[in-house]
C-alpha cells in the first residue's frame, strides 16, 4: 500500500542538505486537523539550529524545493510545510489495490511461521458469566483475530477457574442448603445463590470457613463424593458458558483449567529445588525476586498447598512444550500485574529464554456505581442478560424500521452483540468503564451498530448499481479524497493495534472511516450516471471491504442489510 508519509519524507530529504535523516523526518510528519491545511504537514522547528534561520523562513524556503510526481503542490503555513497530494494519482493506486485484495486487504507478514498463545476469558466455574469477564474475552478474541491477520497461528486458551478453596466452600454450601433438583433445573443461578449465602453465613459463623477448607482438602485428596460434585458443577458451568460464547461467536482451542495442572506442579517445584531457587520464609516456600524489585513469589504455603503462581508456572512450561509458542499473551485485569511480573521473573531465573516473549495484557474494570463488581457480595451484572437484552432491542428496531428484512433474527443477533462488543472495544483497554446499559445499547453515535449500518448502506448502493463492472479512473470531489486517505491507513491500523495490543486503535479507526463515508454519502449523488460513476462505486466497494473486515477483526459481524 502506498505510503504517503514515506513519499513526503523522500521529498523533504532531497530538499535538505543532510540536516535530518529520513527516520527523523518521518517521525515528525503530522496530519493536519483540517483538510484545507493539506494532507500532511512537516514542522520546521528542529531545523532552526542547523540552518540558523527562523522556522517560518525555513518553511518558506523549503516549500519551493519540495517536488514529486505524486505531489500536487506545497504550501508554507507559518513554521509548517503543508503538502497537497495529487488526488487521482494516489487514488488510482489505493482503490484498485483494495478491490484486488478483497478481504485479504491489510494482511501482514510479521507473524508468518510464528505461533502466539492467548490466555483469555477464563471464567470461574459454578459462577455466572458476569460483565467482569467480558473484557478479557472480547479483547483476547480480537487480538487473536488481528494476530491471524498479521500471519500468526493464534491459539486461544481458556484457563478456567475450576480449582481452589472456593470449591470446598461451594461443596459445603451445597451439602448444607442445596437441593439437587433446583441445581439441575438452574445450575449457575442456584450455585451462585449458594456461593453468596456461604459468605453471608460465614460472617457470623467462622466455623464455616474451616469446613470449606476441609472440603477442598478432601477434593485435593481425591475423595470420590467431592470429586463427583465438583465434576457436576464443572460440566453444568461449561454448558452455560457455551451458550454465551456462541452468542459472541468466540471459540477456543484449549479448555485446560487450573485443575489440569494439578499433576504438573511437582515438576516445577523440582526444577526450582534443583536450581536452588527455593527459600523458606515464615514456613512457606518462595523464590526471591529482589533483583527485579519485586516481592518474593510464593510457591508453596506453610501447609504445603500450591498457589496461582505455581499453576501459572506449570501452565507456561506445558504450553511451550505443547505449542512451541513465539509469543504468549495473558489478557488478564491490571490488578494481576505484579503476579505476572513475578511469574515471568521466575521463569527467567529458571533459564527459559522464551519467557522474554511473554506479555501481560492488562485492562481496566467494569464498575457498577463506581465500585468493582463482586460475585461474592452479589454485586454483579450477568453478561447473558445484557446480550439478550441488546438482541431484543435490535429485533424491535428492525421490526419497526424494516419489517420485511430477511434473516431478521440473524441480523438482530449480529447488531445486538455488536453493540455490546464494540462498546467495550472502542474504549482504551486500560480505562475503567462505568456500566451503563443505556450507553451500551445505543445504536447512534460512535457505536458498533452505526458502523454496521454504514456497511449495510454501502452494500445497498452496490445492489442498486446500474453497471456491473466498476473501474476506478478519477474523482474530482474533496469528500471522496478524505475517505480514500482513511482507507489507505487500514493496514497501518491493523499493525498498530497488534503492536500496541489494543483493539481500540482499530475500533476508533472504523468510527472515523464510517463517519467520513457518511459525510461523502450526504454530499455526493453516488448513483448519478456520469463519467465518474464507476469510480464512485469502486470507492463504495472499497469501503465495504474495509468496514466488513475491520468489524470481523473485532469479532463483530457485518450484515449486508439492516
292-304 pLDDT, tens per residue? 999 999 998 877 6
Determine the Cα–Cα distance for residues 307 and 165; give it in Å rounded to an integer: 11
C-alpha cell at 235: 460440566
Neighbouring C-beta atoms of residue 273, cutoff 10 Å: 12
Determine the Cα–Cα distance for residues 283 and 304; give it in Å rounded to an integer: 9
Q: What is the CA radius of gyration of the chain?
A: 28
231-255 pLDDT, tens per residue? 999 999 999 899 999 999 999 999 9
Query: Do β-strands 366-368 and 433-434 pair in parallel, antiparallel, or remain unpaired?
Result: parallel
Determine the Cα–Cα distance for residues 435 and 427; give it in Å rounded to an integer: 12
Please, which pLDDT band fits residue 171 given cuts at 50, 70 and 90? very high
Query: Is residue 560 a contact partner of residue 456, using CB atoms and an 8 Å limit?
Result: yes
Q: How many angstroms from the chain centroid is the CA of residue 517?
A: 24
Residues making up the chain, counted from first to last = 562
**pLDDT mean over 513-539:** 96
Query: Do β-strands 358-361 and 327-331 pair in parallel, antiparallel, or remain unpaired?
Result: parallel
Closest CA to 429 of 120, 93, 188: 120
Give every CB contact of residue 23 below 8 A, 6+ residues apart in sequence: none
Determine the Cα–Cα distance for residues 348 and 294; give it in Å rounded to an integer: 14
CATH 3.40.50.300 fits 397-553, yes or no: no
261-319 pLDDT, tens per residue? 999 999 999 999 999 999 998 889 999 999 999 999 999 887 766 688 999 999 999 99
Determine the Cα–Cα distance for residues 272 and 278; give it in Å rounded to an integer: 6
Given this model, what pLDDT does residue 307 score?
82
Q: Give the single-character DSSP code of 20.
A: S
Query: Is residue 145 a contact partner of residue 191, using CB atoms and an 8 Å limit?
Result: no
Q: Is the pLDDT of residue 376 over 60?
A: no
**pLDDT mean over 190-209:** 93
Determine the Cα–Cα distance for residues 469 and 458; give it in Å rounded to an integer: 16
Determine the Cα–Cα distance for residues 310 and 264; give it in Å rounded to an integer: 9
Please, which pLDDT band fits residue 15 given cuts at 50, 70 and 90? very high
Given this model, what pLDDT does residue 154 score?
98
Q: Of 183-197, 432-446, 516-530, where does the model show the most confidence?
A: 516-530
Given this model, what pLDDT does residue 487 score?
97
C-alpha cell at 428: 482504551
Q: What is the CATH number of domain 4-85?
A: 3.30.1360.70
Determine the Cα–Cα distance for residues 347 and 217; give it in Å rounded to an integer: 28
Asked if the domains at 4-85 and 397-553 fall in one CATH topology, the answer is no
Count CA within 13 A, CB hemisphere, residue 66: 29
Q: Looking at 319-420, which runs of residues are DSSP E strands?
A: 327-331, 358-361, 366-368, 371-372
**pLDDT mean over 416-421:** 96
Q: Strand, coil or helix: what is 534? A: helix
**The whole model's pTM is what?**
0.92
Q: Give the single-character DSSP code of 188.
A: H
Given this model, what pLDDT does residue 274 score?
96
Neighbouring C-beta atoms of residue 261, cutoff 10 Å: 21
* Sequence ranges of the domains in the chain: 4-85, 159-248, 397-553
Q: Is the pLDDT of residue 375 over 70?
A: no
At 324, give phi and psi (nearest 5°).
50, 50
Buried/exposed code over 525-562 (b: 16+ C-beta within 10 A; e: otherwise) = ebeeeeebbbbbbbbbbbbbbbbbbbbebbbbbbbbbb
426-466 pLDDT, tens per residue? 999 999 998 887 887 787 889 999 999 999 999 999 999 99
What is the C-alpha end-to-end distance of the chain, expressed in Å? 32
C-alpha cell at 230: 465438583
Mean pLDDT, all residues of the chain? 93
C-alpha cell at 443: 445504536
117-155 pLDDT, tens per residue? 999 999 999 888 888 899 999 999 999 999 999 999 999
Query: Is residue 80 a contact partner of residue 42, using CB atoms and an 8 Å limit?
Result: yes
Closest CA to 448 of 340, 558, 369, 542: 558
At 288, give phi and psi (nearest 5°).
-75, 140
Give every CB contact of residue 403 below 8 A, 6+ residues apart in sequence: none
C-alpha cell at 542: 472499497
Integer angstrom CA distances of residue 168 from 56, 223, 283, 436, 528: 73, 12, 24, 35, 71
C-alpha cell at 288: 526471591
Q: Give the single-character DSSP code of 295.
A: P
Given this model, what pLDDT does residue 304 score?
66
Q: Is the pLDDT of residue 382 over 90?
A: no
Integer angstrom CA distances of residue 539 from 88, 94, 102, 356, 454: 12, 10, 13, 44, 14
462-501 pLDDT, tens per residue? 999 999 889 999 998 888 999 999 999 999 999 999 999 9
Give every CB contact of residue 232 below 8 A, 6+ residues apart in sequence: none
Amino acid at each position: 500500500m502506498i505510503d504517503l508519509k514515506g513519499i513526503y519524507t523522500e521529498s523533504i530529504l532531497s530538499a535538505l542538505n543532510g540536516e535530518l535523516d529520513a527516520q527523523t523526518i518521518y517521525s515528525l510528519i503530522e496530519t493536519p486537523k483540517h483538510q484545507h491545511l493539506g494532507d500532511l504537514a512537516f514542522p520546521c522547528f528542529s531545523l532552526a539550529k542547523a540552518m540558523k534561520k527562523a522556522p517560518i523562513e525555513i518553511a518558506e524556503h523549503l516549500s519551493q524545493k519540495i517536488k514529486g510526481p505524486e505531489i500536487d503542490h506545497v504550501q508554507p503555513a507559518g513554521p509548517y510545510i503543508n503538502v497537497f497530494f495529487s488526488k487521482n494519482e494516489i487514488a488510482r493506486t489505493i482503490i484498485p489495490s483494495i478491490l484486488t485484495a478483497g478481504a485479504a486487504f491489510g494482511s501482514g507478514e510479521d507473524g508468518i511461521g510464528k505461533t502466539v498463545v492467548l490466555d483469555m476469558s477464563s471464567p470461574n466455574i459454578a459462577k455466572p458469566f458476569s460483565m467482569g469477564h467480558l473484557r478479557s474475552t472480547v479483547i483476547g478474541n480480537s487480538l487473536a483475530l488481528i494476530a491471524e491477520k498479521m500471519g500468526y497461528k493464534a491459539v486461544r486458551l481458556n484457563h478456567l477457574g475450576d480449582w481452589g478453596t472456593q470449591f470446598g466452600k461451594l461443596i459445603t454450601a451445597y451439602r448444607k442448603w442445596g437441593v439437587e433438583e433446583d441445581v439441575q433445573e438452574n445450575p449457575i443461578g442456584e450455585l451462585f445463590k449458594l456461593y453468596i449465602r456461604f459468605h453471608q453465613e460465614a460472617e457470623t459463623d467462622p466455623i464455616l470457613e474451616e469446613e470449606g477448607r476441609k472440603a477442598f482438602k478432601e477434593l485435593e485428596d481425591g475423595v470420590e463424593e467431592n470429586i463427583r460434585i465438583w465434576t457436576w458443577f464443572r460440566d453444568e458451568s461449561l454448558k452455560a458458558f457455551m451458550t454465551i460464547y456462541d452468542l459472541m461467536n468466540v471459540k477456543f482451542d484449549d479448555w485446560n483449567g487450573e485443575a489440569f495442572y494439578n499433576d504438573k506442579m511437582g515438576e516445577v517445584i523440582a526444577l526450582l529445588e534443583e536450581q536452588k531457587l527455593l527459600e523458606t520464609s515464615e514456613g512457606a516456600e518462595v523464590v526471591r525476586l529482589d533483583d527485579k524489585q519485586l516481592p518474593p513469589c510464593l510457591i508453596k504455603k506453610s501447609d504445603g498447598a500450591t498457589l496461582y503462581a505455581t499453576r501459572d508456572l506449570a501452565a507456561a512450561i506445558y504450553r511451550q512444550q505443547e505449542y512451541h509458542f513465539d509469543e504468549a499473551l495473558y489478557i488478564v485485569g491490571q490488578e494481576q500485574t505484579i503476579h505476572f511480573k513475578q511469574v515471568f521473573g521466575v521463569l527467567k531465573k529458571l533459564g527459559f529464554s522464551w519467557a522474554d516473549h511473554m506479555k501481560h495484557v492488562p485492562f481496566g474494570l467494569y464498575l457498577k456505581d463506581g465500585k468493582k463488581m463482586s460475585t461474592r457480595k452479589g454485586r454483579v451484572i450477568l453478561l447473558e442478560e445484557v446480550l439478550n437484552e441488546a438482541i431484543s432491542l435490535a429485533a424491535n428496531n428492525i421490526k419497526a424500521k424494516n419489517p420485511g428484512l430477511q434473516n431478521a433474527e440473524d441480523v438482530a443477533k449480529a447488531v445486538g452483540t455488536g453493540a455490546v462488543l464494540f462498546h467495550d472495544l472502542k474504549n482504551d483497554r486500560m480505562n475503567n468503564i462505568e456500566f451503563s446499559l443505556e450507553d451500551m445499547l445505543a445504536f447512534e453515535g460512535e457505536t458498533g451498530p452505526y458502523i454496521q449500518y454504514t456497511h449495510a448502506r454501502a452494500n445497498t448502493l452496490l445492489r442498486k448499481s446500474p453497471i456491473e463492472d466498476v473501474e476506478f479512473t478519477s474523482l474530482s470531489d474533496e469528500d471522496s479524497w478524505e475517505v480514500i486517505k482513511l482507507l489507505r491507513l487500514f493496514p497501518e491500523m491493523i499493525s498498530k493495534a497488534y503492536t500496541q495490543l489494543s483493539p481500540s486503535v482499530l475500533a476508533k479507526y472504523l468510527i472515523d472511516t464510517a463517519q467520513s463515508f457518511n459525510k461523502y454519502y450526504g454530499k455526493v449523488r453516488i448513483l448519478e450516471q456520469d463519467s465518474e460513476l464507476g469510480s464512485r462505486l469502486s470507492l463504495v466497494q472499497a469501503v465495504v471491504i474495509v468496514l466488513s473486515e475491520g468489524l470481523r477483526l473485532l469479532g463483530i459481524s457485518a450484515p449486508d442489510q439492516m
